[in-house]
């Protein structure tokens, strides 16, 4: 962790998303630790993605914590939140993006403080904020990704990600290990380097349709995505050699494809488009199928939090030991202990 800033600089990482694998995984603590680790070396920006805004988390009922901000950090949050501590901020610009709590502004902290981050509801909003942060000289933006908004880990949004695994995910080590394994498998899917596939993925996105390959030729299909297709329509896709899906690929879709034991090679833009379980995926592989992403996700480390807000906790060493073979060589860090 001590040399994290060097790694970030070396890899030219300009934005880093913090992804929780469950509610109350401990993202805020990770964010706090990252600010402390990096503040003396990099000009930091902080932003949150999601449709939040309530005082309390609607799922756990716990108060939403403010985020620690160090002097000179640039924060994107709602105007009303800056106004509540008027003396602490230098307002830099407005964004035209609206959150539940008001319009999102960018401001620089005049002293160390804590502030709540109002979630930016859209991907285009996050991209706009990232480019504005860049204009204001931010070296690295920490993107607090809301639970189930894995989209902020998309390589199209942030350059790298930190995965946060907390005891709040479940009281069984086995369950946690399985979830981590599944996520890591998807995040580590190999990136396809075939230029042709990249070209047709671009076309699929622009034309909003699926592309399929037969006899070495790619052609556009009349479907915009797998979502509106019936089971039998999806299973009929098994006749192709390749399939480019620019939208989501679900477990349901994959099971439909399995009905005709395909030798299909599926391409998705990145792992955030995959909503599939490891079990189905393994079955798909066994039947001869393959899945590739076009861009892989750059995971920096896995942060573990053995304590759940409901009072339950794992033994820190035991949790780490259980996850090490699954994660290796990805570093596992307990930011509270290390």
Which residues sit at the interface with other proteins, rule CB under 8 A? 32-33, 36-37, 79, 82-83, 86-87, 89-94, 103, 105, 108, 110-111, 306-307, 311-316, 335-338
Beta strands in the chain (DSSP E): 15-20, 44-49, 67-69, 74-78, 89-99, 102-109, 113-115, 140-145, 160-166, 211-214, 217-220, 242-244, 249-250, 265-268, 274-275, 290-293, 299-305, 332-333
Closer to other proteins by CB, 178 or 336: give it: 336
Chain-centre distance for alpha carbon 22? 12
Min separation Cβ 8 and other proteins, Å: 17
Question: Distance (Å, rounded) from C-alpha 235 to C-alpha 170?
Answer: 35
Do the bridges between strand 89-99 and strand 102-109 make them parallel or antiparallel, or are there none, so unpaired? Answer: antiparallel
Min separation Cβ 81 and other proteins, Å: 10
Min separation Cβ 63 and other proteins, Å: 16
Contact 13, 301 (CB under 8 A): no
Min separation Cβ 249 and other proteins, Å: 39
279 Cβ contact list (under 8 Å, min separation 6): none
174 Cβ contact list (under 8 Å, min separation 6): none
Min separation Cβ 90 and other proteins, Å: 4
Angle, helices 173-187 vs 278-286, to 10°: value is: 50
Closer to other proteins by CB, 112 or 241: give it: 112
Question: Distance (Å, rounded) from C-alpha 203 to C-alpha 336?
Answer: 46
Closer to other proteins by CB, 79 or 277: give it: 79
Min separation Cβ 138 and other proteins, Å: 15
Closer to other proteins by CB, 103 or 241: give it: 103
Closer to other proteins by CB, 27 or 108: give it: 108
Q: Which tokens sit at 70? A: 């160090």
Question: Distance (Å, rounded) from C-alpha 188 to C-alpha 297?
Answer: 7
Closer to other proteins by CB, 94 or 263: give it: 94
Min separation Cβ 258 and other proteins, Å: 42
Closer to other proteins by CB, 108 or 213: give it: 108
Largest CA distance in the chain: 67
Cα end-to-end distance, the chain, whole Å = 9
Min separation Cβ 211 and other proteins, Å: 31
3-state secondary structure of 44: strand
Q: What is the 3-state secondary structure (H, E, C) of 236-250?
A: HHHHCCEEECCCCEE
Closer to other proteins by CB, 89 or 218: give it: 89
Closer to other proteins by CB, 14 or 108: give it: 108
Min separation Cβ 246 and other proteins, Å: 31
Chain-centre distance for alpha carbon 16? 9
């Amino acid at each position: 962790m001590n040399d994290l800033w060097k790694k970030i600089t070396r890899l030219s990482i300009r934005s880093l998303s913090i992804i929780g694998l469950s509610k109350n995984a401990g993202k805020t603590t990770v964010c706090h630790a990252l600010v402390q680790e990096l503040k003396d070396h990099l000009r930091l920006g902080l932003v949150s993605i999601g449709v939040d805004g309530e005082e309390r988390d609607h799922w756990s009922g716990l108060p939403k914590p403010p985020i620690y901000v160090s002097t000179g950090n640039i924060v994107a949050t709602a105007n009303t939140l800056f106004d509540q501590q008027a003396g602490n901020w230098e307002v830099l610009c407005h964004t035209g993006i609206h959150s539940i709590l008001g319009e999102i502004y960018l401001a620089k902290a005049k002293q160390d403080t804590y502030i709540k981050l109002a979630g930016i509801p859209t991907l285009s909003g996050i991209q706009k904020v990232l480019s504005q942060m860049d204009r204001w000289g931010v070296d690295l933006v920490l993107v607090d990704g809301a639970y189930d908004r894995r989209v902020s880990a998309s390589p199209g949004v942030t350059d790298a990600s930190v995965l946060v695994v907390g005891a709040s995910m479940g009281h069984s080590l086995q369950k946690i290990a399985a979830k981590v394994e599944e996520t890591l498998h998807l995040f580590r899917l190999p990136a396809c380097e075939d230029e042709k596939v990249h070209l047709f993925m671009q076309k699929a996105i622009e034309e909003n349709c699926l592309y399929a390959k037969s006899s070495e030729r790619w052609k556009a299909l009349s479907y915009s995505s797998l979502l509106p297709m019936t089971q039998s329509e999806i299973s009929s896709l098994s006749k192709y050699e390749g399939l480019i899906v620019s939208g989501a690929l679900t477990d349901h879709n994959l099971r439909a494809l399995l009905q005709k034991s395909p030798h299909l090679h599926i391409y998705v833009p990145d792992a955030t488009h995959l909503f599939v379980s490891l079990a189905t995926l393994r079955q798909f592989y066994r039947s001869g199928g393959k899945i590739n992403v076009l861009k892989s996700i750059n995971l920096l480390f896995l942060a573990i939090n053995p304590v759940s807000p409901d009072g339950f906790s794992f033994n820190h060493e035991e949790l780490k030991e259980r996850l090490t073979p699954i994660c290796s060589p990805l570093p596992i860090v307990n930011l509270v202990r290390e």
